[in-house]
Structure 1
Amino acid sequence: MPCSVASIQIGAAIAKLLFGRVEPSTLVWLRLALAACVLLVVAMPRLRGRSPRDWAAVTAYGAALAVMNISLYQAIARIPLGTAVTIEFLGPLTVATLGSRRLRDWCWILLAGAGVALLGAAPSDLDPVGVGFAFLAATAWGAYIVLSTHTGRRWTGISGLAVGSTIGTLIATPVMLGAAGWVAPTDVRGLDDPWVWLIGLFVALLSTVVPYSLEMIALRRIPPAVFGILMSLEPAAAAIAGMLVVGEFIGPVEWAAVVCVMVASIGSVRTSHRS
């Protein structure tokens, strides 16, 4: 899981460097499309003989992928990467907490919520639209964890990820075209730049092919709740990637928020382990 965490956040930080050349939703579409091409060649999924439930699972999974990535990229275009992922992490933590009815487990999510509330008390004003997109990404991330488990059980290997990425690309296409004003790619979207395609491929490998393949394999072996709390490194990894790659330095209050979320995650892990 640490490999997946580092890969995703470094990819997101590199993607943010391209926002001056290409609109965030367009970059998400490019990332999903390139990742789908790679995964379809590698996985060669079997499509014949699939049941309606197989297609329903992978379609919902692809929709979660598209919404999660579009909303996250729209968020990090407006607020620091570390801040966005700290908010987004409420999704996995909620999945972990919903698996229990014990009061002490809900205390952990309250601590995480307090950490996110600290972000609003930071001296620097956060773009409310960016914060809203981060909360949408949190919801989609929680759905992604649950749907990834269902998809992984119905589609062998990484074939579910390959088909889901293809469906996610189709879902992201009208969003990309709408963000670009429904004009030719050579006009404003930056897709006529070979450098954008090269970096897009690199981001697709770092942020989709490698981590999502690892996560789908992991979710076949561990429950969604455990997976959600094992991702506790995400906020700190995002903050560090933002500093090293993008030059985004968050203040003491933001770091306190990150620590609150991570402590809540570690507390959930320890509580679940004792159980």
Structure 2
Amino acid sequence: MIVQVHSGRSRALSGVGFMVLGATIIQWSAAIATGVFRSLGPSATSAWRILIGALVLVAFVRPKVRGWTRSQWMGAVALGASIAFMNQCFYQAIARIPLGTAVVIEYLGPFLVSALGKRSAKHLAFVALAALGVLAIAHPGGGFHLWGVVFAAGSGMGWAAYVFAAHRVGSQAEGFGGLAVSLAVSAVLTSPMSMGSLGRVVASPGLLVRLLEIAVMGVVLGFAFELQALRRLRPATAGVIFALDPAMAFVIGLILLHQSVSGWDLVGILCVVVAGAGVTYDATSADPLVAQ
């Protein structure tokens, strides 16, 4: 019994570690991607990011799909579709509103996953604290760009679907084969948005290198870390720990994009970090929160 408890705690802690690494790399790559928007626009940038990421991951993983069940294929298709929708909406959002603000609104998707999966009064309190943090950072009335908000909300819907789909794929497919196939599906779905700029990308080696950088950071490494995390944590637990993403986005937006951070932002960041830490502790002390 003691061995099982320690195993559950170690699994939860490693899951949290993978999730934080994934969030950092993905937000960092998003900040870098905004510099490519001037050349390709957000839709094509997102599509190329996924296409290159899929090619790199498939080449390294070489997924063995022979013998896959219908359920495995459906899971990979669902994950690929959620990745495509989430990323297209998110890049459209950060082209219009600050990175931190976009991630705050986007976070409402996995936040609802956590709210629907609440397990106890303590867990609900952490969810409520994260919600207060989101409200503080968003500080309604701040002059949002309407379409930026709409796209960020759409990305949040895709993110919520991604949490469940990634958990399913991670539990059904060994290694990174499921992720590689899912990214290939996503690349096919977004290919009409990338092919129109093929000539510009081929003619500009510097642009191609930048896209490769974004793809490896934000797709190959970022999604791989998150998939490892979602193999170890329940979707409800993972959804609240995703509350760290807005804080990470504000920090990266400040460092790389020189986007301002207000007093309300700092209050909100504190709330979401405390909520994330609280859920992490909850996950290390209660095995039911750890993915089986």
With the shorter chain as reference, the TM-score category is 0.7 to 0.9
Deviations 1:79-127 (A, max 9, x none): 1111111222222333233222545544443443344334554674111
Give 5+ residue unaligned stretches, structure 1. Answer: none
Work out whether 1:89 is the aligned partner of 2:107: yes
Equivalent position of 2:222 in the other structure:
211
Find the aligned partners of 1:159 and 1:101 in 2 and give their Cα distance.
32
Q: Closer, same or farther in 2 for the Cα pair 1:124/1:230, shift >3 Å?
A: closer
Give, in angstroms, the shift of residue 190 of structure 1: 5.9
Find the aligned partners of 1:91 and 1:33 in 2 and give their Cα distance.
25
Q: Closer, same or farther in 2 for the Cα pair 1:190/1:246, shift >3 Å?
A: farther
RMSD: 2.4
Find the aligned partners of 2:79 and 2:141 in 1 and give their Cα distance.
38
Work out whether 1:72 is the aligned partner of 2:83: no
Q: Closer, same or farther in 2 for the Cα pair 1:106/1:191, shift >3 Å?
A: farther
- Residue type of the alignment partner of 1:224: P
Equivalent position of 1:136 in the other structure:
154
Asked if the contact 1:86–1:258 (Cα under 8 Å) also holds between the matched residues in 2, the reply is no
Give 5+ residue unaligned stretches, structure 2. Answer: 1-17, 287-292
Find the aligned partners of 1:173 and 1:81 in 2 and give their Cα distance.
25
Whose helix fraction is larger, Structure 1's or Structure 2's?
2
Q: Closer, same or farther in 2 for the Cα pair 1:221/1:260, shift >3 Å?
A: closer
Find the aligned partners of 2:285 and 2:172 in 1 and give their Cα distance.
31
Bigger drift between 126-135 and 259-268 goes to 259-268
Deviations 1:217-274 (A, max 9, x none): 2222222222223334311211111111112123222333333333333344445556
Work out which of the residue numbers 32, 35, 42 in structure 1 matches 2:50.
32
Deviations 1:176-215 (A, max 9, x none): 26xxxx95644xx766432221111101111110121122
Asked if the contact 1:157–1:217 (Cα under 8 Å) also holds between the matched residues in 2, the reply is no
- TM-score normalised per structure 2: 0.82
Equivalent position of 1:245 in the other structure:
256
Deviations 1:130-162 (A, max 9, x none): 111111111211211111111112221101111
Equivalent position of 2:27 in the other structure:
9
Alignment of 1:1-275 (within 5 A): 1=18, 2-100=20-118, 102-119=120-137, 121=139, 124-174=142-192, 176=193, 185-186=198-199, 192-271=203-282
- Residue type of the alignment partner of 1:89: Y
Deviations 1:9-63 (A, max 9, x none): 1111101121111111101110000001111111101122222111111000000
Asked if the contact 2:127–2:240 (Cα under 8 Å) also holds between the matched residues in 1, the reply is no
Asked if the contact 1:235–1:262 (Cα under 8 Å) also holds between the matched residues in 2, the reply is no
Asked if the contact 2:104–2:138 (Cα under 8 Å) also holds between the matched residues in 1, the reply is no
- Residue type of the alignment partner of 2:232: R
Bigger drift between 98-107 and 195-204 goes to 98-107
Partner SS for 2:67: coil
Find the aligned partners of 1:233 and 1:160 in 2 and give their Cα distance.
26
Asked if the contact 1:229–1:269 (Cα under 8 Å) also holds between the matched residues in 2, the reply is no
Identity, % of aligned positions: 32
Bigger drift between 68-77 and 111-120 goes to 111-120
Aligned residue pairs total: 268
Bigger drift between 82-91 and 195-204 goes to 82-91
Q: Closer, same or farther in 2 for the Cα pair 1:266/1:90, shift >3 Å?
A: farther
Asked if the contact 1:29–1:169 (Cα under 8 Å) also holds between the matched residues in 2, the reply is yes
Find the aligned partners of 1:27 and 1:203 in 2 and give their Cα distance.
9
